[in-house]
Amino acid sequence: MSSVLATCSPFKLALVQLGNVTHDMHANLEHARTMILVAASRGADVVVLPECFNSPYGTSYFPQYAEPLSTSASVKMLSETAKEANVYIIGGSIPELAEDGSGAIYNTLTAYNPGGSIIGTHRKVHLFDIDVPGKICFKESETLTGGSWLTHIDTRYGKIGVGICYDMRFPEMAMIAARKGCMAMIYPGAFNTTTGPMHWELLQRARAVDNQIFVAACSPARDPDASYQAWGHSTIVGPSGNVLQTCEENETIIYAHIDPEEIKTIRTNIPLYEQRRFDIYGDVSKTVDIKEGKGFKRE
Ligand SMILES: O=C(O)CCC(=O)C(=O)O
């Protein structure tokens, strides 16, 4: 059993499946703030927003809405709201303009402690480039650059790994987070009406059961008028692969009690942690020099 888990404690997790995302960034920020305050007033300790919560989702929108983190109105709102509500915020993602003059744009998550300080910055590592003929063709790489580090944030409840949407399809990220002592992987995401029904829940349950950790994915609500039809169905999965909470496609907030005892129980009952044969296939968390994205990480 990882000694890190011995220091974990229970908390209430809230996923805000945010609706009404308009072309007006300031209106989007105000609405997100209101919803975070609602979640906090209902006892949430950690509040999660969806991918691209401050602007419409689409390759043509990223350059239009991208902001440097140091002057970002979104970062300011999230920091102030974390403090006001006295909660941790895993702030979905926003299009970020690099500050090094390269013009690079990233799909970036920022996380905050209840004091309002940034405790993690994750740039989506795996860009969403797919082509399912007749269904969906999407190429984030047309306007975005992929991130180059993994992010595990420290909270008073324990360590949490984060990824963004398509990152969920790559089991190595969750595996490394679990081996590094994370109790959960949390993914702001925006699957669509083609791949959502195919894989959204399956991937979360797979990441949870493989690693015996909690997994949560927070989607935007579906907007019938938007160019990108989000799947919705924000979901929280327990360490046995059990769905703790889920929902349909409309705006809502879902909550779950995250109890690290559940991790201990499943790891005792089905002791994968003592049975892995790293002598045969190695331990991916030890083969690479993992950079953990804490605070602001400048290029
Ligand atoms: O993996 C998928 O099917 C969807 C991924 C996605 O929508 C994203 O990365 O934004």
pLDDT of residue 3: 61
171-179 helix and 195-211 helix, angle to the nearest 10 degrees = 30
Distance 195 CA to ligand 1 centre (A): 8
Pocket test residue of 131, 195, 222, 231 for ligand 1, highest count of atoms within 8 A of CB: 195
Is 249 a known active-site residue?
A: no
Task: State the closest ligand 1 atom to the C-alpha of 51, by its place in the atom list counted from 1.
Answer: 10
User: Does residue 133 belong to any structural domain of this protein?
Assistant: yes
Q: What interface predicted TM-score (ipTM) does this complex get?
A: 0.97
| C-alpha triplet 28, 144, 174: angle, nearest 5° | 85
Task: State the closest ligand 1 atom to the C-alpha of 165, by its place in the atom list counted from 1.
Answer: 9
What phi and psi, each to the nearest 5 degrees, are found at residue 27?
Answer: -65, -40
User: Does residue 296 belong to any structural domain of this protein?
Assistant: no
What's the total number of domains in the chain? 1
Encode pLDDT of 224-244 as tens digits: 999 899 999 999 999 999 999
User: Does residue 298 belong to any structural domain of this protein?
Assistant: no
User: Does residue 2 belong to any structural domain of this protein?
Assistant: no
pTM for the model stands at 0.95
User: Does residue 281 belong to any structural domain of this protein?
Assistant: no
List, in sequence order, the alpha helices (H) in the chain: 3-6, 25-41, 61-65, 73-85, 171-179, 195-211, 260-269, 272-275, 278-281, 284-287
pLDDT of residue 6: 79
Closest residue CA from atom 3 of ligand 1: 195
User: Does residue 290 belong to any structural domain of this protein?
Assistant: no
Local confidence pLDDT in tens for the 299 residues of the chain: 556 677 899 999 999 999 989 999 999 999 999 999 999 999 999 999 999 999 999 899 999 999 999 999 999 999 999 999 999 999 999 999 999 999 999 999 999 999 999 999 999 999 999 999 999 999 999 999 999 889 999 999 999 999 999 999 999 999 999 998 999 999 999 999 999 999 999 999 999 999 999 999 999 999 999 989 999 999 999 999 999 999 999 999 999 999 999 999 999 999 999 999 999 998 888 866 566 655 434 33
CATH of the domain at 14: 3.60.110.10
- SS3 for 49-92 is CCCCCCCCCCCCHHHHHCECHHHCHHHHHHHHHHHHHCCEEECC
Encode pLDDT of 188-212 as tens digits: 999 999 999 999 999 999 999 999 9
Q: Are 115 and 89 in contact (CB under 8 A)?
A: no
For the Cβ of 200 lying below 6 angstroms from any atom of ligand 1, the answer is no
For the Cβ of 83 lying below 6 angstroms from any atom of ligand 1, the answer is no
Give residue 233's domain range: 7-273
Pocket test residue of 53, 131, 165 for ligand 1, highest count of atoms within 8 A of CB: 165
Is 76 a known active-site residue?
A: no
Closest residue CA from atom 7 of ligand 1: 191
pLDDT of residue 297: 40
Closest residue CA from atom 1 of ligand 1: 166
pLDDT of residue 7: 85
pLDDT of residue 5: 77
pLDDT of residue 4: 64
Task: State the closest ligand 1 atom to the C-alpha of 168, by its place in the atom list counted from 1.
Answer: 1
**216: nearest Cα among 192, 191, 245, 190:** 245
Cα gap 142→198, rounded to integer Å: 25
For the Cβ of 191 lying below 6 angstroms from any atom of ligand 1, the answer is yes
Give me the catalytic one of 12, 124, 159, 297.
Answer: 124
Is 8 a known active-site residue?
A: no
